[in-house]
Structure 1
Amino acid sequence: MNEIATRVLAGERRAVARACTLVEAGRAPDLLRLLQPGHSLLIGITGAPGAGKSTFTDQLIQTIRADGKTVAVLAVDPSSMKTGGALLGDRIRMQRHYQDPGVFIRSMATRGAMGGLAPTTRAMTAVFDAAGFDVVLVETVGVGQDEIDVAAMAQVVAVLLVPGQGDEIQAIKSGIMEIADLFVINKADLPGAEKLFQEIEAEVHGVTPVLKTVAATGQGMAEVWARLQSLPRRVPRTEPPRFAIDHLGIAVSSLDEALRFYQDALGMGEAHRETVAGEKVDVAMLQAGESRIELLQPSEPGSTIARFLEKRGPGLHHIALRVPDLQAAAARLQSHGARLLNEPRIGAGGHRYVFIHPASTGGVLLELIEEHS
């Protein structure tokens, strides 16, 4: 991890790609702690499906590069029902930039998450920031009224609108109107563009700028880029808004036999497998939406999982929750008399974790895992 972090901080593209893979797999909390904040301008690009976000992002990349700045793009795609991975539609639209050493493009799947982003989007942008990119663009999967997570992460948010989609103002007023630092009426060559422009301006009362573009031809993009640079930068929220279930740990006698059910019969995607020598356990981790299923097979007789199987047989072993600050959570638990089974340490996937005895949790072994924010 130290070597990868050093290479990321030096801006090596292969190291950035490797770090992104580790982050998306949930295996990089220590790596993220080694990375230092940079100076990137983090721009969120969002809007309803059909607003032309990918074409807009593609043209914005070209405009930024013409200004001599480097740019990293994180395109959040819908998840494939077959593999759970990104459908890659956005990267295909941006393929003309692949050979440009000043551009780095990465797609990631939502993996069932709502809000237009994926669970590890924030951490991925931290990698790009540390690697020294001047600008980081995050294109969301497409939002509705309450899918506005990008506002908690980006310094500037551009909301794309398009004429001809019915009662536009009422459709967006409930939530997305509140997150925009800049409104962009894309496809402004379509009928109804001027009417929509006037409606939005009347709604925002001059507080939020409204611009028009035709991203397919590049019209208006230079003005958009100039305005994005001049807008006040909001301070992104630095902690996740809530606790979340990271995974369910299930003790099994045979990983291969269990995976035949979860992968072949149930149709779940590929599993990440590793051996955690300190715990004497072989692990297979499968993604299940925002959470995961962790299958645990003892690698040696007498291990904790081996004793669990001898006493109770295969079944639910523990529930794991993600927390923003493990040390603070552990101290709080101890102050309330909870019985911790270990000091925070590194486990499967590179997480820092701590276990809490079932006697303190209502009968279930609970694991807390630190999530880098």
Structure 2
Amino acid sequence: MLTREQVLEAVRPWTEGKRNALQIRDVVVKGRQVSMTVLHPAGAEQAPLEAALREALAREGAETVHIRFRPLEAAAPKASGPQSAAGAAAGAGPVKGHGAGLNSPLLEPANGVRFIAVASGKGGVGKSTVTVNLAVALARRGKRVGLIDADIYGFSVPDMMGIEERPEVVNDRVIPIEKFGVKVISMGFFVEDNSPVVWRGPMLGKMLRNFFSEIEWGELDYVLLDLPPGTGDIALDVHQMIPQSEEIIVTTPHATAAFVAARAGAMALHVGHRIIGVVENMAYSVCSHCGEREYPFGRGGGGRLAETLHTELLAQIPLGSPDNHPAEPDFSPSVFKADTPVGAMYLEMADRILASADSNN
């Protein structure tokens, strides 16, 4: 077993006694797996540097090493405010400031906030729909819930919840939008006219950090994170910032979708996140003429995925959308009402998650 101290000692020749010394941050060690961020001077050649660091860590017994490189200039501390998020989204450059050190009460373990990241192996399986409805279900059970739309390229939560207003800034803090009892923050609030977000990985991490450090969340019991599909930088950033996070994996019943979703589950296990369970979305449809179930995407994928990940199948959600009308107050195109069959399924899922929290205490 490796320790953080062993990792820092192994890379010390590159971090001390040199004019162009590196800075090492976000060191996370799980068994013999190491991930870290390397801040390097401008002009440094990354390839030979990465090879040397990997070799040094391998001599200490590291088997898997993930290194993210960032220039020192971009990571240098600088005053920032909530406008930095909007500025970066509008093309004013990367968000400056917080780096790995986050000043967010939300992340203090003593506050008892339970973080649940909702992940999938691929897009189009309804991950955001599951996230939104589970967040609303937890709020309906009386919990104080926050929702972070961390799918920064493919943000959709504001539209799905029917949110049209933008957050306000009070005393240099961004106030999240609250709807259905859920406090929401999303990249969509800072992008004009559905413009594409053209960013590299480090900028995504900075925006995610701003979602913690510059938002006035207040007191919360649960924070749900709608992750991008796959196993990219955001998943690693979530692990580094919230090592205590748990995960739910969403798939469809199709065998290929479940196979791809297994990668997201493997990523969660790789970074030490506990998998609460699997949600099989679009599990079936109900024939409008005979009332029988039909299976347009096949059967069994969610159950097989749960077995592969040694977890439980939390729910099998049918294919369909809420029958909500735009004229209704609090209209949302994607949130199921509590008294509908699917709304009841999400309440049951919320109850299982609440019960699992009680059993772990």
Q: Give TM-score, length-normalised by structure 2.
A: 0.30
Q: Which has the larger radius of gyration?
A: 1
